[in-house]
Each structure stands twice: as structure tokens, then as C-alpha cells.
Structure 1
């Protein structure tokens, strides 16, 4: 049994060192010197190897794993950036050959150079990726991401609905995206505890200095508030060693707080040298004997974010402080009218129940349309009608009924099951539009269809079907998709913050 699987089964706190592979011997040697210690304050150490952080040309996690002089407990990432089903399936036998059986499945952030409206870039969505691997390798340990650091209802609510789909798709554990707001950590843990089959959760963390905060402004989905930046800048103005010491102290306290909240472990990012690791371990050893409760921890955490002459720190963006469970937004009249109109049109043409839909289905399933010339005509007709109406890109596998008639192809990543983690106050990671899943959330809440956002697992679009009419396939016999059944694991009780 792998170290990570054993730790999760035993409910033992675990530290995973995140490693972004670079083809330099020095970088690998530095990580191996950390992993040689085997533990952080008695907690077992594993490695997670990131995938396509920079570009599709980055060193692959599997190749990086093979490059270590000494084998280490490894969790591979798989990013869906510019990938299709066959890319994921091709990796599985290679992992079998290497004796690896655990994956963190991510949609991935924006691929460098991807500009909407130019060459379409496909992103294999994490929900679909979970289904694919769970079916192909039922016994593997599979993880997925959750970003609870959202401060508007639409983007936050949609995140949790998508997380429910990941549970249904067979995820074994979650790793939270990078964040610092403990109110959101608590919300995420309480959400998980309400699920029928709770799963362990780990948190991605990083020591935060002013320099790193500036870098994180360009990382999609990470929130560093202006109040946080003011404190970090004040620390940097004292001295670089002072700022580093304060960042290490907060990182140690963050780990202690997460452990007290019931998190299964941490995914530690930004620690690249043994010296940094030892400084963190020393800070933990200083603090652990002094903190025995969440009350004691909270006092120390609050003090670590204070400095004379600096305003009190808040972790949410100014003016935005949505909390999980609040439901106040409503779709506009136009959004609701659009849904009802398209729903009625869909029923008449595609329900297979009305005379019109039966006649339409009969007509598009004639053998005539299977000839190349006629298929091109039918494709052109569908595209000319649906593109102005819903932004259709004729993916060949229409999913509008399951996406409240908001076409997934209008998302730059083509995501159908819910948002990525990169939204910021309802804005798409690409910055040029509102996230379509925020609009979908508002519509679902207003028309009583929220179950669609959490229960319907939408498979990925196959390459072979793109740029073809979806009508003949729609009227073929549907193949139901069943979520993977997973065993329930006991979880520790969660104390209130």
C-alpha cells in the first residue's frame, strides 16, 4: 500500500511536497535531500509532481518520477490542458509499468498562448477524467481539486456543486487550491462533513511574502487581499530576513490550524531547499507544544497577521464576503426567459415525445445523412441555426439539456460540468467575460434546477465527433452514464473555529 493511501486510510496527517519538474540535476537533488528526512515533525512525507504548470512542453510528471536517484512516494498530477481522452488513457499503462497507481486529476489553468477565438484548445475536464480513470483502473487512488476561496455566490456555489459531481465520479480525496482564508477552510470542511460519503481533504499552502504575493496576482483563482498585501509590504520594508521569518511562522501556524480543523494533510508548495524545510520544521517544533486548541491557535494566527501601524487584515476582496450556504442571487428576467424559451423549443424538437420531435428524429436518421456530402450539409444547417442562438461550435454531442441551454463551447476551456478554479469574482480566468457557470448557477437557482449542476455527470466530447451534426446522434438510443460506487470512510469530527 502506498504511503499516501495508508495515511488517508489511517487518518494520519500527511505532508506532500509539491514539485514542479525542471530538467536540472540541482532541482532534483534539492528535493531528494528533503525527502531523505522522510518526515516533517513526525508526519510522513510524499511528493506530488505538477503537470504542465508552464506549458505543454514541460517535463512530464512520469519522466520526472523516473529521474529521482532514490524512489520516493509519489502522487502524479494530470492536467487536462490541451488533452483529450486518449492522452489520459495512454498514460495509464505507462504508470502501471512504473508501479504507480495514484493520480491528482486537474482541468488545469490557462495554457500559455491560448487566446479565445483563435486555435481552439481543448481541456479534458476533471469530472470526465475521474470517470475515465475510475472505469479503467477501479482500484487506483484518485484525487481532485476544490477551490473554496470564492467570494461571490455564483462562483462559490458552482464550485461546490461541481465538487459533488467529483464525489459521484469516484474521487478518493480532495486537495484545496492555494489559499489563506481560514473561514473558507472551515466552510469547505463543514461542507464535506455534510456529504453522504465524506472524503479526506488536504490543503495546498505556501509561505507568503510580499514578493510571492506579487507573483500570485498572476495565478488564476488565488486571492491575496489588499489588506494582506499592505501587511506583507510593511514586513518587507523592515528587512528581507524579517519578512521571511514572519512568512515561515505563519506557514507553521497554518499547518497547525489545518490539522486542528480535521484536514488530512497539506500539499506544501514553494519549499525548494532543505534550508527552507528545516526552518519550517523548527517553527513547527516551537509552536506545536504551545497550541492545544483552536482557541489558542486562533489567537496566535491573528497575531501573526498584525503589525504596528498596519490596518487589520481581512482575507476577502473588499466588498465581497459570500459564505457557503448563503443563497440570495436571482437570474435576470432575460436569463429566465431565455431558459424557458429554449427549454420549450428543446421539448418540441428533441424530447422524442412530441409528434414534431418524432418526425424530426425520423428525418435526421435517414441513411441519406450518412454520406459525406449530405453530412456536411446537415452540419452546416445545424451550425447556422444554433451558433447565433447559443454560441454552438457543433461539438457533435449536444449537452444543452444538461447545461440549462448555456453552451459549454462558449467557455474558453469547453467545460460542461462546472467552473474551473480560476474564476475571480465571477469573471472568467481569461478576463474577457463573465464565467458561463456563474450565469448557469443563477439560472438553476431561479428555475429550480440546481440538481442538474450537482448530479448530472457529463462525459467529455470525443474528437471523432467534432464538427459534425449532433442531431442524428441525439436521436440514437442514449447510453446512460453511471457514477462509480465508492465505499464510505469514517472521518474525524470537526471542531468549530
Structure 2
């Protein structure tokens, strides 16, 4: 149904279900989905993956507990996952007759601290893996446009380009309430040579919900939003719930008028709540036929006597698309140019020094257990203090402007997750490395590196060994032995 609705350009309502640890809410969710439509729009179930805990019931397990078959979009979260986990889910989905998947890198795994060896299978290589294994499946990915510094916002759109190139059929916006950012994302998509359809995640917002969401990475709740929601809560809880549902209905109408293909509805858990939302939307639609009418109604819904005008962005941070003023620091530029020169000298394979170094790295001694350990330790000790290398066995520095992806706590190479806040990493202890990459790319005119090069995941069996012999191994030889191909072969894949 989701594929048909998107192809026919019918507005669609994707309803998110979070199974939790036991899946005890499956029956209630199923009763809600029996309605099949919201305001005449087809409804599709979306089963979330590892939202509250890594011990949550899996999307497939939750789906199997439904008494009746439903049109369903499963999620796959890459946190604490490897390639084999994804391939296993594909086989299980085949057995269940499912072929629609939303691929996410995933937010911070509970208990994960920087420096711990937790891997995240990020969405770009995950999309490539699924697209290659299941060419005809319907695949989606996420975009978070609710960013208010140029670096983090620009990096989000750069990564979105990669997701589309990797095979995403549609994008779903992460949760946000700044409708100007919704317009920005839609305009960005329409400016692409081959735009795809956009969905937007929405949910009812009360003071209690906002207090929780303030702790969710990537979700922006401004102080003025919080003050208005608190004032509504002070009148009564029923009044606050009524206002939150009213604004949710308005947001849905606005997204439809903007041209969004549908909504990804969260926070609605019962048939009664869904019926109340439908009633609100029907009542509002009668008087709102244009975006101008909607804009006036949306602005009025966020006003309250005695309170200042609500703004949806963080204080002193309101970057909008089209503005560009960032510049890499002198240290960042110096670092890039020095490492680029060293790379050209040793790893270009074109000059005598590089060819000589390559000859040395291909000696049989490095294929012995002792030689491999020694070379691994040498590379780690040389590169670790300079770039933070974790010797992943397949060096990607050339594709990341010499900012090592292993210095990201999630190990993301293709771009940022959605959890940054004003350039700060979701873990809170550093600036996001992808903001540094964005500044460097802008200053050195290398932005194509961050949009065009799809970086594959590093498999578990390739880690903690030297990347140098593999770098200099001819592609044909590696293919004959069934090993990962060298960077030159990867580059040809990227071009194709």
C-alpha cells in the first residue's frame, strides 16, 4: 500500500508503533490500524526498532504477533549491528512476505560511552547492502533538517544526497516543529534533478512530552515553546491535550499543502486518539485551503496572552539554507593540506616513493602472523596520535578529508547522525567531526568528496589490522580471493 500510494501521489499516514520489551501493546495498535484510513488517507503501520532499548521486541517479532496482516514498513536501526544482522533481517522479511524497509543509523545506544567499541551500521552502506541484495524493495531513510548552524545543517543535506545515491526511494524527516525548516527541506528536494517523495514525522506536543523530548538527541524544543506549553498545562491537562491535538492537526494540513507525500505519525496510541485527531483535521480543513490561510492559523495556534512570540529555533542560532559564512580555521586548513600532501607522497601509487612504499607493503613477510601484528602496531602508533586511527583495516581518510571516522563515537563515515545540537556531538563531549569536515570541504572546495563518495561499512573481520597491504593490492587480485576491493575499485563503484 505504501508503494502504491507513493506512486499514485496519494497522501499517506504511516503510523509508528514502538513494541517495547514485551509487545503488550500489539493488540491495541492492531485495533487502531483496523480503521485503515485517516481522513480518507491510507494508513500503513511502521514498526520501530530499538527506540527505548536494545532489548525491545524486534520489528519482525512484533509484526508476527499481529492477528491480521497489515501493510507494514519495518525499521532497521544500525546501532550495535553489523552487516550480517541486516542480511539476516532481509531473509526473515522474505519469509514474512515483507519488502519495505526504513534504514536508520540509530540514536545513542543506552550505556554507550565514547571509547567503547560499539559499532553502528550507518544508513548509507546499509542502503547499498539492501539495494544490492533486494533491488526491487521499497527503501526509505531519514533526514533531520532541524539544524541551526551551517556546518551541521549542510552536512545533513550532504549525507541525504548520499542516501539517495545509495538507493533510498523516499526520505522521512525526523521529528520537528519548525515549519520553516519543513519548507526548507521540501524546497531542497524540489531543486534536485531527480526529486523523491518526502514524509514528515509528527506527534502531539504537550508540556510533559516536550520535557521528555528535550533529552532526545536532535529534537529542538525552544524555551519559548516550553513556556507556552507550560502555561497551557497550568490551565488544565485536558486543555493542554486539546491544544496539542489542535496543533497536530494543523501541522498535518500544512505539510499536505506544502506538497509532502505523507506523515509519519508518532505518539498516537489508541483508536480514540486517532478518531479525535481525524475530527480535528476535518474541522480545520473547511477553513484552510491555502498555505497563506494555514500560516496565519499556525502562527495563531502558538500565541497566548501575556507570553512572548514563540520561536522554534535555539536562541542566537537560526541558520537558513542559502546562507554561507563558515570558514575552516587555520589549524584545520594546515592539517588538511599536510595530510593530503603526505597521502599523495605515500599512497598515490603514481610517484616513485609511493610505488616503493607499495612494493614494501606487499612483501610476503607481512602475511605471516608475526609480520601482520608488527605492521598493524606500526600503523596504529604512527596514525593514532595524528588522526585518532583505530586501524579499521580499510583506511577511509582520503574520502573523509583526513578526519578519521573512528573519532566519531558511532564510527560514522558518510556524514552525521541526526542527534547533533548546534554542532555538538550527540555524546556531548566534542564537536561533531562532520561539522569539521563540512568547514574543511567548503574552504578547500572539496564538497564533492562529501556528497559523491559512498563509503562502505567496515566489516568486523577486517578490523584491527593494517590497511597498507590492502591499499596497494591490485583490485583484480583481491577480487579473485574474494576479499574487499581496494580503494581504486571502490572509486569505480562510486562513479558507476
TM-score bucket of the superposed structures, by smaller chain: over 0.9
| 8 Å CA contact retained: 2:390, 2:406 | yes
Match of 2:493 among 455, 463, 482: 482
1:350 aligns with 2:347: yes
Q: Following superposition of structure 1 onto structure 2, how do residues 278-297 of structure 1 map, counting pairs within 5 Å?
A: 278-297=275-294
Match of 2:384 among 387, 392, 405: 387
Match of 1:458 among 455, 460, 463: 455
Match of 2:29 among 20, 28, 31: 31
| 8 Å CA contact retained: 2:453, 2:494 | no
| 8 Å CA contact retained: 2:20, 2:52 | no
Q: Distance in 2 between matches of 1:328 and 1:49?
A: 41
> Could you tell me the TM-score, scaled by structure 2's length?
0.96
Q: What do the CA deviations read for 1:35-55 (whole angstroms, capped 9, x no partner)? A: 111100000001100001122
1:76 aligns with 2:87: no
Match of 1:270 among 244, 251, 267: 267
Of 414-423 and 32-41, more deviation after overlay is shown by 32-41
| 8 Å CA contact retained: 1:105, 1:142 | yes
| 8 Å CA contact retained: 2:22, 2:56 | no
Q: Distance in 2 between matches of 1:458 and 1:289?
A: 49
Q: Which residue of 2 aligns with 1:209?
A: 206
Match of 1:7 among 5, 8, 20: 5
Q: What do the CA deviations read for 1:288-335 (whole angstroms, capped 9, x no partner)? A: 111110011111111110111111000000000001121110000110
Q: Which residue of 1 aligns with 2:480?
A: none
Q: Which residue of 1 aligns with 2:397?
A: 400
Matched position secondary structure for 2:106: coil
Q: Which residue of 1 aligns with 2:366?
A: 369
Q: Which residue of 1 aligns with 2:314?
A: 317
Match of 1:113 among 108, 111, 114: 111
Q: What do the CA deviations read for 1:426-483 (whole angstroms, capped 9, x no partner)? A: 0000000000000010000000100111000000001111000000011123323535
Matched position secondary structure for 2:25: helix
How far did residue 56 of structure 1 move? Answer: 2.0
Matched position secondary structure for 1:8: helix
How far did residue 231 of structure 1 move? Answer: 0.5
Matched position secondary structure for 1:290: coil
| 8 Å CA contact retained: 2:22, 2:57 | no
| 8 Å CA contact retained: 2:200, 2:264 | yes
Q: Following superposition of structure 1 onto structure 2, how do residues 58-457 of structure 1 map, counting pairs within 5 Å?
A: 58-117=56-115, 119-457=116-454
Q: Distance in 2 between matches of 1:200 and 1:55?
A: 30
Aligned length: 482
Matched position secondary structure for 1:326: coil
| 8 Å CA contact retained: 2:452, 2:494 | no
How far did residue 70 of structure 1 move? Answer: 1.2
Structure with more relative contact order (C-alpha pairs < 8 Å, separation 6 or more): 1
List alignment gaps of at least 5 residues for structure 1: 486-497
Q: Over aligned residues, Cα RMSD in angstroms?
A: 1.1
List alignment gaps of at least 5 residues for structure 2: 476-485
Q: Distance in 2 between matches of 1:238 and 1:24?
A: 36
Of 475-484 and 393-402, more deviation after overlay is shown by 475-484
| 8 Å CA contact retained: 1:175, 1:201 | yes
> Could you tell me the TM-score, scaled by structure 1's length?
0.96
How far did residue 484 of structure 1 move? Answer: 10
Q: Distance in 1 between matches of 2:25 and 2:398?
A: 49
How far did residue 274 of structure 1 move? Answer: 1.4
Matched position secondary structure for 1:215: helix
